[in-house]
Amino acid sequence: MLALLWNVLSFVVALGILVTVHEFGHFWVARKNGVLVKRFSIGFGKALFSWRDRQGTEFVVAAIPLGGYVRMLDERIDPVLPQFRDLAFNHKSVWQRMAIIAAGPGANFIFAILLLWLMYLVGVPEVKPVFSGAQPASIAAAAGVRENEQLKAINGRTVRDIRSANLLLVEQLGRPQITLTVQDRDSLAERQRVLDTRDWQFNPDQQSVFSSLGLQLLGPKATTTLAQITPGSAAEAAGLQVGDTLLTINSQPVTEWQQIEQWIRNHPEQPLQLEISRDGQTLQLVATPALTTGADGFSQGMLGIVPQITPWPDDLIYTQRYGVFAAIGEGFAQTWQLTRLSFAMVGKLLTGDVSVKHLSGPISIAQGAGSTASMGLIAFLSFMALISVNLAVINLLPLPILDGGHLMYLVVELIRGKPVSERAQEIGFRFGALVLLMLMGIALLNDISRL
């Protein structure tokens, strides 16, 4: 319950900030272009509290914190006295109206740059992408990826850390091949590994982009020593304790956690003879994994044990920190990468390279907000920057109900020399609303299926 409340609170805070930034972009540029803004609302529904400034704008914080809006004086909506027509949105030039509409997404891009600037000013913990090898019979194995090779570039784009490598790899979805530039950490020799990705299958709900390619990263490793026993589990019933080290299962030596996992998964409700080391003594125990159903719908065993994890190797971790001006440049670069990736994902959804099953809705966003907020300020700022860019990109899509649709109509007006008819706009708005509701419904169903 506390986790749910934390996720909801983090989501409301993040969404409230991002919507305020977006609407402030519209508001500020509208004011600069002489448009009277009647209302600036954060949230929908009943006003919790409100106030007016000297120019007559009503600022409102409403009860439902799931969006916001700026209402401008507009003859198409409100009756306007002749002396106030110059203050109406629809009486401004096409370029002025385009600037006002584009200012919302533009504010989100600028906000993402500022968030990333602050992150890199404080310092961002990063991890070098070094391979510990390739999974057998995988795309990476066929390309010859080896242990102790550090990833330096993906299709010619420089890679410095696991986070940026992850984003670049996702961006390559749908391409027939990916060229990795790697450097041997011992000899410092650089070489290229060409991944044949024609049959690449990636499910972000079940695996990382690295593991989907068979790329194994050097990092913390699960050991055969137990760190946690689930209360009431089959492991507790068998007498296993925290600190026990598993030596053999059914007389077969186990030296890696993956071997233990495989034994447990493949033997539901079947007794396993365990040889363990405890406080310098060797003991024999019998454990029977419980029967459970995995995410793939197949039955598998569950014992209720969690392994100890080794720490990150010291030579892989570093802090990426910049001065005031250099951090601005890095903020621009990272925002551009996120923007490019966001537009690329929209394109891949249209071409079918990415399934709509991977769309995320408010539940996933709330979970992401909560988890990153729990991880600390840097993680939460990074999450906010990502969502801010996504909000900007989504609003720029040419759906009539979004900012991008309004811009599309204004471009047509600029070309034709007269506005698009109200009838055509109305039909477009209905179509845009239908598409948007359909996508939101799919995203929400995806969220529910992941619970």
How far apart are alpha carbons 315 and 4 in whole angstroms?
A: 37
How far apart are alpha carbons 193 and 164 in whole angstroms?
A: 18
Contact 244, 277 (CB under 8 A): yes
Collapsing DSSP to helix, strand or coil, 118 comes out as: helix
Contact 247, 282 (CB under 8 A): yes
Q: How many helices (H) and strands (E) does the chain have?
A: 12, 18
How far apart are alpha carbons 311 and 430 in whole angstroms?
A: 54
Q: Is 422 a catalytic residue?
A: no
DSSP states of 179-205? EEEEEETTT--EEEEEEE-TT----TT
Gyration radius of the chain's alpha carbons: 27
Contact 151, 131 (CB under 8 A): yes
CA distances (Å), origin 170, targets 173, 212, 320, 338, 340: 6, 11, 22, 11, 11
Residue 162 half-sphere exposure toward CB, CA atoms < 13 A: 21
Q: 23, 171, 275, 330: which is the annotated catalytic residue?
A: 23
Q: Helix %, strand %, coil % for the chain, to 5?
A: 45, 25, 30
φ and ψ of 200, to 5 deg:
-70, 125
Contact 140, 134 (CB under 8 A): yes
How far apart are alpha carbons 171 and 190 in whole angstroms?
A: 23
Secondary element (H or E) of residue 62: strand 58-72
* Residues forming a β-bridge with 341: none
Q: Which residues are identified as catalytic? A: 23
